[in-house]
Amino acid sequence: MVAAQKTKKTHESINNRLALVMKSGKYTLGYKTVLKTLRSSKGKLIIIANNCPPLRKSEIEYYAMLCKVGVHHYNGNNVDLGTACGKYFRVCCLSIIDPGDSDIIKSMPSDH
């Protein structure tokens, strides 16, 4: 019971931080642009939906490992991630270039 409540609370806080990034920061949505930001080493944090195809996910994780960028695996699917970003379409992965007023990069534990 407590664990379920805690995961819901962290899920909500991630959504709130993500909404703040969408308002005040710089970001790119989508697989191709995420790879571009990783190649140019502009990305600070990568967020991947849980139903992202395994090959795509592993490629993004590999690029992120080379660039020493944190990767966060989002709890929801790509529809939930799109909704959390305030968009009306699905978002498989997103790259945060500039967090703006949000503390999302400090609050996310990097998977390295």
Q: Taking the model in full, what pTM does it have?
A: 0.87
For the chain, the average pLDDT equals: 90
Q: Is 109 left (phi over 0), alpha (psi -120 to 50) or beta?
A: beta
Confidence of residue 112 (pLDDT cuts 50, 70, 90): very low
CA distances to 33, 34, 67, 93, 110 from 8, in Å: 29, 27, 31, 21, 20
